[in-house]
Chain A
Amino acid sequence: MNDSPLVVVEGLRFSRGDRDIFRGVDLTIPRGKITAIMGPSGSGKTTLLKLIGGQLAPDAGRVTIDGHDVHALSRKKLFALRRRMGMLFQSGALFSDLSVFENVAFPLRVHTDLPDAMIRDVVLMKLEAVGLRGARELMPAELSGGMARRVALARALALDPELILYDEPFVGQDPISMGVLVQLIRRVNDALGLTAVVVSHDIKETLSIADYVYVIADGKVMAHGTPESLNVDQDPRVSQFMHGEPDGPVPFHYPADDFYLDMLNAGNAGEMR
């Protein structure tokens, strides 16, 4: 098997309006492993996945997947490359005009010439894995948020991609399906040897399955290492995040003026439209 990393991110810079989201991020995602990208809310984790998937273009830097520079590819080649990837969106992003079954069947129908009977088998297998085989006739609007995410996972896995990007897979799951999902992500990874990137801030669940962890904050990689090494990291910012402490060098508040002064300023209604 090829030892070179599947995804390499070099010197990535990205900004939205005046706000810098990334100021030079370097990452390597090794093949066949689960790499977690963690960081506080608003640190641009989802944006990073969209940059890797080629949905957003960086201001500077490169993303290469299996040697292809994602942002230098033609539209056609980019779409061909994406067939080798799966992405689980935070909202699920199921097609609202198709049933659960047809949603999972969609990638198979558009990218393969499999007969209907075989598509049915594959779809039912994937739905069984996420525990929703019985829900196959439902429409996405009839599903809860957590169920929709599991259907989306089944759809992302339908083509057995080489690389799968999980955007917050654990948010909104009840404890039982959370446990199942954690196992499932680990299992498909071990069984199929696929490469996974998990973006999350659920520390316990993510650390239990990740092989390697990057912690992103302030537009940079703040720390990286194996879960064990990060757990004992002495950097106060890392330990604050890893142990979920409210106070520390990473601020809980979005940058703002002094609270006391802000309250006194209530008479100054210029900013209140």
Chain B
Amino acid sequence: MMTRITRLGRHGCDLVEALGRAGMFLGQSLVGRPSLEGFKLWLRQMHFIGVLSLAIILVSGLFIGMVLALQGFTILVDFGAEDALGQMVSLSLLRELAPVVAALLFAGRAGSALTAEIGLMKATEQLSSMEMIGVDPLKRVVAPRLWAGFVSLPLLTVGFSVIGIWGGHLVGVEWLGVYEGSYWGNMQSSVDFVDDIGNGMLKSLVFALVVTWIAVFQGYDLVPTSEGISRATTRTVVYSSLAVLGLDFVLTALMFGELG
């Protein structure tokens, strides 16, 4: 019994300590003067993290939009309300599906790669040797990746929504025969820029911060062995998925709880 309590206490201490380390890590990485060199490093990471994630995000967005239209149509048509298809597709995507699904895909595609890359740099002493050359790896390696993650996920979310709405149009209008004017018209009249698009983007920004932070920290803090890298990569995907889904509920309750 005593040992269990001790173990619980130790887990608690470890958790608080890890949170503290992660916080210090984030602060030390992000505080600093912007420089041209930093901008170039950031651009390079934007390519690896953002541009190379485009394919998976856009393809998934297209299919999710198409499925939404198909499912939505079969329900709405029972009530003779298939004219509201555009509204349904766009609100589901903007408020909910685009930020969440894009973040989950981003965690799997870019987050795991970030963890593995930084972890391997640590395991092969590249981070140590950079320190001994007098260059802070937090500034040189970590910061550009954090900023690239923060910027690219919201942009990818925009792409996800746009192509999803187009996919809904493809299925709803082109295939199932919903009147094109009501698809776009209902969407225009029901989507609010601040409440729907703004809140969706805010969600996406929060997810970007959390997912990138988890991914980069897991890579930097891991035990530098093959087993450690594999565990940290798994943890990145698991923790960021759980964090995204949990935060999504909290944010949805705060943002849309009273809209009713």
Interface residues in chain A, defined as those with a beta carbon under 8 Å from any beta carbon in chain B: 50, 53, 55, 75, 79-80, 82-83, 85-87, 89, 91, 93-96, 106-107, 110-111, 152, 155, 165
Dominant secondary structure at the A interface:
mixed
1/0 per position for B114-141, CB-CB distance to A under 8 A? 0000000100111011111111100010
Inter-chain contacts of A107 with B (CB < 8 A): 133-134
Inter-chain contacts of A96 with B (CB < 8 A): 121, 124, 126
A143 to chain B, nearest CB (A): 13
Closest to B117 in A: A97
Judge whether B126 and A82 touch: CB under 8 Å: no
Judge whether B128 and A82 touch: CB under 8 Å: no
Q: List 17 A-B contacts (CB under 8 A).
A: A50-B128, A53-B131, A55-B131, A79-B131, A82-B132, A85-B132, A85-B134, A87-B129, A87-B132, A89-B129, A93-B124, A93-B128, A93-B129, A94-B126, A94-B129, A96-B126, A155-B133
Inter-chain contacts of A87 with B (CB < 8 A): 129, 132
Top 5 nearest A-B pairs by Cβ distance? A83-B134, A93-B129, A93-B125, A82-B134, A87-B132
Query: Which residue of B37, B121, B128 is within 8 Å of A55 (Cβ)?
Result: B128
Query: Which residue of B126, B131, B132, B136 is within 8 Å of A95 (Cβ)?
Result: B126
Query: Which residue of A75, A85, A93, A106 is within 8 Å of B136 (Cβ)?
Result: A75
Instruction: Give A87 to B132 CA distance when docked, in angstroms.
Output: 6
Interface residues of B in 171-196 (CB under 8 A from A): none
Dominant secondary structure at the B interface:
helix
Further contacts, 12 of them, CB under 8 A, given A55-B128, A55-B131 = A53-B131, A75-B136, A79-B131, A79-B136, A91-B124, A93-B125, A93-B129, A94-B129, A96-B124, A96-B126, A106-B133, A152-B129
Instruction: Give A89 to B128 CA distance when docked, in angstroms.
Output: 9
Inter-chain contacts of B135 with A (CB < 8 A): 79, 110
Interface hub of B129, B130, B132, B134 (most chain A Cβ within 10 A)? B132
Judge whether A53 and B126 touch: CB under 8 Å: no
Inter-chain contacts of B134 with A (CB < 8 A): 79-80, 82-83, 85, 107, 110-111
Interface check B28, CB cutoff 8 A: yes
Inter-chain contacts of A111 with B (CB < 8 A): 134
Interface hub of B37, B121, B135 (most chain A Cβ within 10 A)? B135
Instruction: Give A89 to B127 CA distance when docked, in angstroms.
Output: 11
A27 to chain B, nearest CB (A): 19
Instruction: Give A82 to B140 CA distance when docked, in angstroms.
Output: 16
Closest to A82 in B: B134
A45 to chain B, nearest CB (A): 15
B92 to chain A, nearest CB (A): 41
